[in-house]
Structure 1
Amino acid sequence: MGRRDLIKRSAALGLVAAPGMGLLSACASGGGDDDPGEGGTKGKTSKDNPFGAEKGSKLDVVVFKGGYGDDYAKAWEADFSKKLGVTSTHTGTQEITGKLQPRFNAGNPPDLVDDSGAQKINIDVLYKNGQLLDLAGVLDAPSVDDPAKKVRDTLIPGTLDPGLQEGKIVALNYIYTVWGLWYSGKLFKEKGWQEPKTWADFLAICKDAKSQGIGGLAHQGKYPYYINVAIMDLIAKKGGLDAMKAIDNLDPRAFVGSDAAQEAIEAVYEVVEKGYLMPGTNGLTHTESQTRWNQYKAVFITSGSWLENEQLKQTPTDFDMKFLPMPLLPGSKLPFEAIRAGSGEPFVIPAKAKNRAAAQEFMRRMLSKEWSTLFAKQANSLTILKDGVDPSVRLRPGTQSTVEASKAAGGNTFRYLYTEWYGEMGTAIEAASNELMSKRIQPKEWLKRCQAAVDKQAKDPASKKNHRD
């Protein structure tokens, strides 16, 4: 999935994010210290190597090879080897669960993992089984760029929140992401369409497109995570932050009894009922649907800001990719400019990492301007580091539009956390959305199923440890 929400930080930030599979066998619980752990390796510490990454040791790195690719990680690894003499075993894959669950179960996990994509291992599952290191040690270490500051003090406010489990940061969501709708500037210009700011205007464009043989909305049908971008954004913008927090806080009226949720799901279902979906989109993967969108077979598509990089090879040079905040329903509490924004692409250090010292030092350097710029060059996206990208890096059209949208949003940003806190509940909501988009259920049943998922999660005593004020 990818992740998946760019570059000249001095221009982009400006923007501030508001704070807003199977069972794995239990392993030793993690801590926030720099002890390399059982079977670990640790060398001599220094100002430039505070965790004591040992020269000549090896680092086992597994990266989700999705929308951002994995060339950025290879560039990091090459620099790490050059400067510290620590070589890496690199695995780029989309099969995170398939490749890593057996290793976690056997007590032999990698040292650093980008746990993302459709086949990720849910962070809450790993945490509950004691398999993740508390990252406090990394976040409280001296910043590479300014040793007088802690690493955590160099990050965009709120971007650590998605990595929280019961008050501990156990995942570093590294990439600053925005979510919403996307369209082709070229197609809009040719058709004389204006950027829709209301849902009525959005539907009018979809209707006009349909009359010309073009789908109004494409979505990545096999991965309903994507259509939930539209649904959940509409709920938050209609009902305000209280409607969003009601879902994260497992409110007994989060869906059933919520006017915002009801109006949002009815609005999305109207797209289905009126035939404004791109034909076939319900049966397509993310890349298949996105590629047809790149071929002008649909006007809009839902996604995060990894979309441009994921579609580089399929996007025509004059496509002029643009980002669009979710249009407003009548009486919305948040303005049109409000966007879902925050950090994505969680990196974790397993509690039983064999080279914990090197993994922590590697993560510390991920949050340096040099490595943040390396990422931007390779992946066309921003990181969570403030002013973290060299100003000379040029932006692609889609990325530039997310920068502009983020600046326009200002403090009007929001971010759901239930997807990180409650993996099973998130999956149930996605399943309901899949049924809705295929017309196998209607809005009333969608609300009922989503509320049932919330109520089930609320019965778990551990859920009481997560709360948003």
Structure 2
Amino acid sequence: MNLPSSRRTLLRLSTVAGAATVLSGCVTAGGDKPEQTKGTVTEDNPLGVPEGADLEVVMFNGGYGEEYTQHAVTLYEERHPGATVTHEGLQKVGEVLQPRFVAGDPPDVVDNSGAGRLDIAALAAADQLTDLAELLDAPSVDDPGVKVRDLLLPGVVEDGTLDGTVRFLNYSYVVWGLWYSQSLFDQHGWTAPETWDDMLALCEEIKGAGIAPWTWQGKYPEYMMDPLQSLAAKAGGLDLVYAVDNLEPGAWQQDGMLAAADAIHGLVTGGHILQGSEGLSHTEAQNAWCNGQAAFIPCGSWIEGEQQGVTPDGFDMTLAAVPALTSADALPYGAVQGASSESFLVPAQAANPRGGLDYLRCLFSGEVARGFAESAKAMPVVRGATEGLDLSSGLASVASTLESAGEHVFGYKYRTWYPELAVEVDTATGELLGGRADAQQWADRIQAAADALAADDSVVKYER
């Protein structure tokens, strides 16, 4: 969340930095899995957590905060009163945990999100992640008659599956789009545009009011890649999305992708972006937006929680779907990019993997999920968790946008599958937004990287 942090792949403040370095040792190091004891399986202990076994939880402390993971610790301690639970929040999960994976001494639970997160695909290929099927088939904390898997929204299990095995589970359901202040728009009589031509016309009106139409998190180009690839998906449909993920020749040079890149590049050449945005961090850009310096900012649905401390009263932040690129788009205007995010995993060499599984059973309970929605202002992946809650303006708009999208929710997987390609995509996008490359140069650069990856037999490939 979060994508960067991890898109937060999530989560998603930025793309994985140095992913190959982070996992190079993990693939070969660690030795055999340690002997792992299993406690007595009972109705109250369906996953066989050993009595008195300590538990270590390491999580990414980003926009969602630590309140919900601490809440799960409380539930776990109630269930296992003889255990000592250690909980730690980090900013750079991969950097801190790499040596521990290499040494064969990882924590029992990891929230693998944020900038510099571990390469999940490489961890899975190295058999460093526990298969979560047993957790999914376990009785839920809320209702023993309902399995954990049946609590999860559609697509969550699929998102965490690599080569037929569930290696991780995401916690937040993220929707990406364009954010604006409803009160600002009401003040000026503006409405969120449904076509790109309408967007450009509105940008001129916004500039006339003395406000920059857009800002973006320039130090993390992944943020602007989200509206670009949304425009491309709408133009080219799911065939384009799958071609990108499947590393097909020419996927990044398709007409829909080029047109989307040209549209985003046009924001630069048209003077529609707040001056200096390229040098802003995610928080700096988001603060400028909250302070009324720009009308639109691209982001995932974690932004409301992340900005709680600085958003003015009455701002009424609202999510809008990325406009349709043309009238001939393959997907409708209301289609949105959405996926589960904020990845939780149990390392295969953990000292207490059974405790790790049971901690996740607590985390995915309705009680913790409701608390997450309230504290993080974000959508959990647990069914019905937001029912009956008084939703904030941002979270309510996320729910409304998802409802309007219906079956037209799409998502790319190349960031999770191929982190090194994602780094090249973001580098090229930074050049595009900096005015140092045009759409064709942007596409050619990324396609060359994708082709090289496709030809590299040392990299495990995935397919949709």
Q: Does TM-score exceed 0.5, indicating one fold?
A: yes
- Give the drift of 1:252: 0.3
Question: Residue 160 of structure 1: SS of its match in structure 2?
Answer: helix
- Give the drift of 1:261: 0.4
Instruction: Report whether the alignment pairs 1:441 with 2:437.
Output: yes
1:195-217 deviation per Cα after TM superposition (whole angstroms, max 9, x unaligned): 11011111122222223332111
AA at the equivalent of 2:181: S
1:72-104 deviation per Cα after TM superposition (whole angstroms, max 9, x unaligned): 111111221123223321111111122111111
The 1:377/1:53 distance shift into structure 2, 3 A limit, reads farther
CA separation in 2, counterparts of 1:374 and 1:213? 40
Question: Residue 412 of structure 2: SS of its match in structure 1?
Answer: coil
Other-structure match for 2:321: 325
Question: Residue 65 of structure 2: SS of its match in structure 1?
Answer: coil
Other-structure match for 1:459: 455
AA at the equivalent of 1:215: A
Instruction: Report whether the alignment pairs 1:135 with 2:135.
Output: no
CA separation in 1, counterparts of 2:141 and 2:7? 27
AA at the equivalent of 2:395: T
Which of 376, 397, 400 is the aligned partner of 1:401? 397
Question: Residue 78 of structure 2: SS of its match in structure 1?
Answer: helix
| Contact 1:24–1:126 (8 Å) recurs in 2 | no
- Give the drift of 1:192: 1.3
1:176-195 deviation per Cα after TM superposition (whole angstroms, max 9, x unaligned): 11111100001101121111
Other-structure match for 1:295: 291
Alignment of 1:352-367 (within 5 A): 352-367=349-364
Other-structure match for 1:420: 416
| Contact 2:30–2:104 (8 Å) recurs in 1 | no
TM-score (norm 1): 0.91
| Contact 2:29–2:103 (8 Å) recurs in 1 | no
- Give the drift of 1:422: 0.8
Instruction: Report whether the alignment pairs 1:160 with 2:157.
Output: yes
AA at the equivalent of 1:50: P
| Contact 2:289–2:295 (8 Å) recurs in 1 | yes
Other-structure match for 2:229: 232
Question: Residue 226 of structure 1: SS of its match in structure 2?
Answer: helix
CA separation in 2, counterparts of 1:341 and 1:417? 11
AA at the equivalent of 2:72: W
Alignment of 1:110-259 (within 5 A): 110-256=107-253, 258-259=254-255
- Give the drift of 1:315: 0.5
Other-structure match for 2:14: none
Other-structure match for 1:10: none
1:281-310 deviation per Cα after TM superposition (whole angstroms, max 9, x unaligned): 111111111010000111101111100000
CA separation in 1, counterparts of 2:121 and 2:392? 35
- Give the drift of 1:56: 2.9
CA separation in 2, counterparts of 1:371 and 1:102? 31
CA separation in 2, counterparts of 1:279 and 1:440? 16
Which stretch shows the higher mean deviation, 93-102 or 54-63? 54-63
- Give the drift of 1:465: 4.7
* Identity level (%): 40
Other-structure match for 1:279: 275
Which stretch shows the higher mean deviation, 207-216 or 341-350? 207-216
1:391-435 deviation per Cα after TM superposition (whole angstroms, max 9, x unaligned): 342211000000011111111110111111111111111110011
* Higher relative contact order (CA closer than 8 Å, sequence separation 6+): 1
Which stretch shows the higher mean deviation, 192-201 or 366-375? 366-375
The 1:40/1:378 distance shift into structure 2, 3 A limit, reads farther
Question: Residue 274 of structure 2: SS of its match in structure 1?
Answer: coil
Question: Residue 344 of structure 2: SS of its match in structure 1?
Answer: strand
AA at the equivalent of 2:202: I
Other-structure match for 1:64: 60
1:325-356 deviation per Cα after TM superposition (whole angstroms, max 9, x unaligned): 00011121111111111200111111111111
Other-structure match for 1:18: none
Question: Residue 114 of structure 1: SS of its match in structure 2?
Answer: strand
Other-structure match for 2:303: 307
Please list every run of 5 or more consecutive structure 1 residues that lacks an aligned counterpart in the other structure.
6-20, 31-36
| Contact 2:179–2:318 (8 Å) recurs in 1 | yes
Other-structure match for 2:12: none
Other-structure match for 2:25: 24
| Contact 1:163–1:420 (8 Å) recurs in 2 | no
CA separation in 2, counterparts of 1:205 and 1:126? 46
| Contact 2:233–2:240 (8 Å) recurs in 1 | yes
The 1:27/1:157 distance shift into structure 2, 3 A limit, reads farther
The 1:377/1:39 distance shift into structure 2, 3 A limit, reads farther
Which stretch shows the higher mean deviation, 99-108 or 398-407? 99-108
Other-structure match for 1:343: 340
CA separation in 2, counterparts of 1:190 and 1:374? 33
CA separation in 1, counterparts of 2:178 and 2:31? 40
| Contact 1:60–1:112 (8 Å) recurs in 2 | yes
Other-structure match for 2:91: 94
TM-score (norm 2): 0.92
CA separation in 2, counterparts of 1:372 and 1:187? 32
Other-structure match for 2:13: none
CA separation in 2, counterparts of 1:76 and 1:153? 19
Q: How many residues in Structure 1 have an aligned counterpart in Structure 2?
A: 445
CA separation in 2, counterparts of 1:460 and 1:155? 36
